[in-house]
Amino acid sequence: MSEKNTADLNEIENRIQIACDIAEKKRSEVELIAVSKRQELQRVQAVLDSGIRCFGENQVQEALTRWLPLKTIYSDITLHLIGALQSNKAADAVRLFDVIHTIDRDKIAKTLSNEMQKQNKNLSCFIQINTGLEPQKAGIEPKQAVEFARCCIHDYGLSIAGFMCIPPIDDDASPHFAFLSHLAKKAGLSGLSMGMSADFEEAIKLGATHIRIGSALFGDRAY
């Protein structure tokens, strides 16, 4: 298991580097987030052994169970919340995570702002944009993105790094990445959280600053 993951990491690092070369970006300008949700501990351990310290989880409870113990062993871990956040989990999320990618509605922006003040923390955040206008998917409508970002920054005092998207499963992802980049420019934001196992190279070519890779790094999820 450990060997397999190391090989996977080398291959993914090569692919990231090639995409960075094409995009004329430095490798250090793209953050690889290893998405460890629903992976067995031994796989996570193998990725930790390979030196990766930046991880993504999509559920607060699962992340707490896994990372509270691991954080006592590895002091330099950075944790990214990449899944929907319920208001009643905001306190735990602010306590555990370093970056939140999924501000997707006014209420959670307000709640996070209050919670960060209470805990005297200032997490970096991304606003999730529903670029595909999918009714079942979380996120701010593209036409409200710029105004919502302004509100998060100026009214709620949040540190907004940029925008995040999850393109519709059956669409070519590239137009969504290009659109997200366009919206971020309009909002004056430089961070772009986009690209997963199937499409991270396209995302880098279109300006991704944070790529979220799960299965290509760890293998298929357990459930």
Ligand X SMILES: *Cc1c(COP(=O)(O)O)cnc(C)c1O
Task: List residues binding ligand X (CB under 6 A).
Answer: 35, 37, 58, 82-83, 166, 196-198, 212-216
Return the residue nearest ligand X (CB atom): 214
Least CB distance from residue 117 to ligand X, whole Å? 27
CA distances in angstroms from 66 to 1, 8, 38, 42, 161, listed in the order given: 19, 22, 10, 12, 26
Instruction: Say how many residues make up the chain.
Output: 223
Least CB distance from residue 24 to ligand X, whole Å? 25
Contact 36, 44 (CB under 8 A): yes
Of residues 147 and 171, the one with the C-beta less far from ligand X: 171
Phi then psi for residue 72, to 5 deg, are: -75, -25
Give the amino acid at 82: I
Of residues 77 and 216, the one with the C-beta less far from ligand X: 216
Of residues 58 and 181, the one with the C-beta less far from ligand X: 58
Least CB distance from residue 2 to ligand X, whole Å? 19
Of residues 82 and 112, the one with the C-beta less far from ligand X: 82
